[in-house]
């Protein structure tokens, strides 16, 4: 009995020590697990340099688009605190802003991209006690027309669509206590994306974790800059709009539209009788390529004269070029992305596009030039970027002579004007095109005459 009592006493004394040892082991295991779970995307801080979190605003738009002046607001909403008594403190909304002078961080594939990083959103926050605080970060969407797009500006001449990011992030702020200084500080910040920019929910797995630290380096490292990985991407598209009256033609006192392609026919040879036929229809093949950010599928174009009046007797396009069903009526055409369509133009006629996004590229080719010499003048934002003449009669010319696809800019005029010239000489005159050969024959004849004359003189002298 005495031995059993002694054993029980020893066991009783050992239990607290075993329990303490178990707690220490479990604590060590927990810390080890946390260290194993923590990766480069979990920011580590200390009292002198606490962990931080910033937001990156990304704005994308087609190349050639002026950046809109706009401020973007982000909300940091509290979800939970470490205890029922330790309520998560309020974190004020933060903002990012761009204006027309903001510089792009990259331009690639016809898309201009800008980045803006906010300051530390945790700076100045007073934490009630140590523990884990959870927040959700979203972008405020103001003046929404529908669930997807805000019309930033809509007038008679332009439509501007700003598509807000629908991304959501959950951040966990680990607040620790410094025993030496008796102060609280942010030890860790963990962040992961729960919803992407398009509004598609994502699971909380390793692939959705991001590094929210300022200058941490975004997922796209090709830009050569480091930004917080907690980013929100918005897209902006500016579309040139020109209303069209189906009966009378273009309104808004313009015949230029967002882009126009024109044919001019005439004679240029000095002193020549002009045989150019203003009613001769030239085939111009047009292909549009919309910016990748644009969702618009159809682009309208009308056949008008130089005053903007509707052409009432247009020449039907070649059926072998025109996509079936694309010509809606006798003077209206509907173009789709990267699909060639042929239009026949006579002197002074224009194909005017009335709803093209800025940054749309296009090609226009005139090939069936017969005996005409063609000059092509391309304008972008009122500036002439190509002024070239075909290498000879009967040879075509294309906007690709500029070295790259022509593009639609924000300002008028954006145009491609083909000037086809055809001239014949006055009857009985010398054909200018044959002049070099005529001169050669004249020189040979003159040389032969001189030779005969010289021989004749020698003979006469010998006869004397």
Q: What is the CATH number of the domain that holds 324?
A: 2.60.40.1140
Half-sphere exposure of residue 369: CA atoms within 13 angstroms, side-chain side: 28
Q: What is the per-residue pLDDT for 354?
A: 87
Which candidate, 170, 168, 61, places its Cα nearest to that of 410?
61
366 within 8 A of 344, measured Cβ to Cβ: no
- Could you say which of 238, 263, 291 is where a domain stops? 238
Where among 208, 238, 268 does a domain terminate? 238
Q: Looking at the structure, do residues 193 and 67 belong to the same domain, yes or no?
A: yes
Does 5 reside within a domain? no
Q: Is residue 19 part of a domain?
A: no
Q: Are residues 221 and 254 in the same domain?
A: no
Separation of alpha carbons 315 and 54, rounded Å? 61
Pair 192, 170: CB distance under 8 Å: yes
Q: What is the pLDDT of residue 390?
A: 76
Max Cα distance, the chain (Å): 175
Q: If DSSP codes are grouped into helix, strand and coil, which group holds residue 14?
A: helix
**pLDDT for res 304:** 85
Can you tell me the distance from the alpha carbon of 194 to that of 170, in angstroms, rounded to the nearest whole number? Answer: 7
Cα→Cα distances 69→59, 200, 414, Å: 12, 28, 24
Residues 355 and 413 in one domain: yes
pLDDT in tens, the chain (464 residues): 444 454 445 545 555 445 444 443 344 333 334 444 556 667 788 899 999 999 999 999 999 999 999 999 999 999 999 988 888 999 999 999 999 999 999 888 899 999 999 999 999 999 999 999 999 999 998 644 333 444 445 555 788 889 999 999 999 999 999 988 899 999 999 999 999 999 998 775 555 889 999 987 644 444 445 799 999 999 999 998 776 666 556 554 455 678 999 999 886 544 444 677 888 889 999 999 999 999 988 998 888 887 777 787 777 644 334 443 355 556 788 999 999 998 999 999 999 898 899 999 999 999 877 778 889 999 998 888 888 877 677 788 888 775 666 899 988 789 999 998 875 555 554 545 555 655 677 676 777 766 666 666 666 555 55
Shared domain check, 160 and 117: yes
Structural domain includes residue 24: no
Instruction: Confirm whether 28 is domain-assigned.
Output: no
Containing structural domain, residue 438: 432-463
257 and 167 share one domain = no
Are 300 and 319 in the same domain? yes
* Cβ-proximal residues to 90 (8 Å cutoff; 6+ apart), any chain: 78
- Given a contact cutoff of 8 angstroms between Cβ atoms, the answer to whether 121 and 54 are in contact is yes
Q: What is the CATH number of the domain that holds 212?
A: 2.60.40.3050
Q: What is residue 421's predicted lDDT score, i.e. its pLDDT? A: 85
Check whether residue 295 and residue 321 sit in a common domain.
Answer: yes
| CB 193, CB 183: distance < 8 Å | no
Asked whether residue 17 is assigned to any structural domain, the reply reads no
Total domains in the fold of the chain: 3
Rg over alpha carbons for the chain, rounded to the nearest Å, is 38
What is the predicted pLDDT for the residue at 118? 95
Say yes or no: 395 and 312 in one domain. yes
Are both 223 and 103 inside the same structural domain? yes
Q: Is 443 a member of any domain?
A: yes
In a shared domain, residues 225 and 268 = no
53 SS3 class = coil
Contact 229, 211 (CB under 8 A): yes
Per-residue confidence (pLDDT) for residue 19, from 0 to 100: 46
Q: Supply the DSSP symbol for 321.
A: T
Please state the three-class secondary structure of 93-159 as a single string: CEEEEECCCCCCCEEECCEEEEEEECCCCCCCCCCCCCEEEEEEEEECCCCCCCCCEEEEEECCCEE
The full 3-state SS of 204-270, as one line of letters, equals CCHHHEECCCCCCCCCCHHHCCCCCCCEEEEEEEEEEECCEECCCEECCCCCCCCEEEEEEEECCCC
Q: Output phi, psi for 25, to 5 deg.
A: -65, -45
Asked if the structure places residue 8 within a domain, the reply is no
Residue 14 lies in a domain: no
Q: Clarify whether residues 440 and 416 are in a common domain.
A: no
Q: Are 254 and 370 found together in one domain?
A: yes
- Looking at residue 463, its pLDDT comes to 55
Confidence at residue 397, expressed as pLDDT on a 0 to 100 scale: 87
Query: Kindly report the CA angle at 373 between 368 and 377, in degrees rounded to 5?
Result: 95
Domain boundary among 195, 222, 238: 238
Where does residue 424 rank: exposed (0-12), middle (13-18), buried (19+ CB within 10 A)? middle
């Amino acid at each position: 009995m005495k031995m059993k009592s002694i054993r029980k006493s020893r066991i009783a004394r050992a239990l607290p020590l075993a329990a303490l040892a178990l707690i220490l082991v479990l604590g060590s295991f927990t810390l080890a697990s946390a260290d194993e779970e923590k990766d480069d995307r979990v920011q580590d801080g200390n009292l002198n340099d606490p962990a931080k979190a910033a937001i990156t605003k990304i704005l994308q738009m087609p190349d050639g688009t002026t950046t809109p002046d706009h401020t973007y607001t982000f909300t940091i909403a509290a979800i939970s605190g470490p205890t029922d008594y330790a309520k998560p403190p309020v974190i004020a909304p933060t903002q990012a802003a761009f204006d027309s002078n903001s510089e792009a961080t990259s331009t690639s594939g016809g898309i201009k991209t800008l980045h803006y990083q906010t300051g530390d959103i945790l700076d100045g926050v007073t934490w009630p006690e140590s523990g884990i605080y959870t927040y959700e970060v979203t972008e405020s969407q103001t003046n929404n027309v529908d669930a997807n797009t805000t019309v930033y500006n809509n007038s008679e001449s332009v439509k501007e669509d700003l598509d807000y990011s629908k991304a959501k992030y959950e951040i966990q702020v680990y607040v620790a206590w410094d025993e030496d200084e008796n102060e609280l500080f942010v030890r860790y910040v963990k962040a992961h994306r729960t919803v992407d920019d398009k509004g598609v929910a994502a699971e909380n797995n390793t692939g959705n974790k991001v590094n929210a630290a300022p200058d941490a380096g975004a997922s796209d490292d090709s830009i050569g800059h480091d930004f917080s990985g907690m980013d929100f991407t918005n897209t902006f598209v500016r579309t040139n709009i020109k209303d069209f009256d189906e009966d009378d033609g273009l309104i808004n006192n313009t015949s230029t539209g967002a882009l126009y392609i024109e044919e001019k026919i005439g004679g240029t040879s000095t002193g020549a009788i002009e045989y150019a036929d203003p009613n001769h229809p030239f085939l111009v093949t047009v292909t549009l390529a919309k910016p990748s950010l644009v969702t618009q599928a159809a682009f309208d174009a009308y056949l008008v004269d130089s005053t903007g009046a509707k052409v009432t007797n247009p020449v039907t396009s070649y059926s072998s070029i025109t996509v079936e069903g694309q010509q809606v009526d006798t003077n209206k055409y509907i173009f789709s992305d990267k699909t060639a369509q042929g239009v026949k133009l006579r002197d002074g006629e224009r194909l005017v596009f009335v709803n093209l996004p800025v940054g749309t590229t296009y090609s226009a080719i005139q090939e069936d030039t017969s005996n005409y010499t063609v000059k092509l003048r391309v304008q972008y934002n009122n500036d002439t970027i190509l002024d070239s003449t075909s290498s000879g009669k009967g040879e075509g010319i294309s906007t690709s002579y500029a070295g790259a696809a022509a593009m639609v800019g924000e300002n008028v005029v954006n145009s491609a004007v083909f000037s086809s010239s055809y001239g014949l000489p006055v009857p009985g005159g010398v054909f200018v095109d044959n002049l070099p050969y005529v001169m050669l024959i004249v020189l040979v004849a003159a040389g032969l005459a001189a030779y005969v004359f010289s021989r004749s003189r020698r003979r006469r002298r010998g006869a004397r």
